[in-house]
Amino acid sequence: PDRGVESANVAVDPPQRSQKVALDPLTGPMPYQGRELAFKLGLEGKLVQQFTKIFMGLATIFLERDLALIEINPLVITKQGDLICLDGKLGADGNALFRQPDLREMRDQSQEDPREAQAAQWELNYVALDGNIGCMVNGAGLAMGTMDIVKLHGGEPANFLDVGGGAPKERVTEAFKIIVSDAFVKAVLGNIVGGLGR
């Protein structure tokens, strides 16, 4: 078939170069889905069977391990006419690691932002950004809207931080500490919907 497709470019590449398959979490992947996908990709003969086996394995791992991403790139056809995965990436869903002790053990926290790791311990949704206005909000949608308003008025958010609904005072206190631990933060904007906090 074709040269590899960067997953980041899938939205702009021609549609025939990227395909989607809906997986039912109750039944898991089905062989017919792999065959159908192989045909759409232009594979024939034994390559359809090999692709279906690869698809079933990848889809099963994706569901069983609560992954957020699984990517094989490149997937090549050898001179002998076999389908081989040369490289791959897995991305775990951080919110599902409590169900995946094996994946949790492989986590290299030295590669993570210490504030993000601290936030995870307090069940806070925190993402560090490059700005200087810290944002503490309860609700992901409100947090996105708050960051948009900050940018609209010429500011730059230093973080996305959702304390969640019904956050106890200890969690809110910890959230504030995490925000002000960023040396670039010059101000903190709190946008808390009154009925959602404790």
Q: Domain locations in the chain?
A: 7-102, 111-196
CA distance 21 to 97: 24
| Residue 197: per-residue pLDDT | 53
pLDDT in tens, 28-86: 999 999 999 999 999 999 999 999 999 999 999 999 999 999 999 999 999 999 999 99
pLDDT in tens, 113-128: 889 888 988 989 899 9
CA distance 14 to 94: 31
Asked whether the beta carbons of 58 and 72 are under 8 A apart, the reply is yes
Q: Is the confidence at residue 179, as pLDDT, over 50?
A: yes
Q: Residue 109 carries which DSSP code?
A: G
pTM, entire model: 0.58
Q: Is the confidence at residue 15, as pLDDT, over 80?
A: no
The two three-digit tokens of residue 53, written as one number: 């086996």
Query: Which of 121, 85, 87, 81 has its CA nearest to residue 104?
Result: 121
Cα dist from 161 to 22, 120, 147, 167, 183, whole Å = 31, 11, 10, 12, 16
pLDDT in tens, 145-172: 999 999 999 999 999 999 988 888 899 9
Helix or strand holding residue 63 (H, E): helix 46-64
Bridging pattern class, strands 75-77 and 125-128:
unpaired
- The residue that leads in pLDDT, 25 or 153, is 153
**What homologous superfamily is domain 111-196 in, according to CATH?**
Succinyl-CoA synthetase domains (3.40.50.261)
Provide CATH code, domain 7-102.
3.30.470.20
| pLDDT above 90: percentage of residues in the chain | 64
User: For 32-47, b where at least 16 C-beta lie within 10 A, e where not — what string?
Assistant: ebbbbbbeebebeeeb
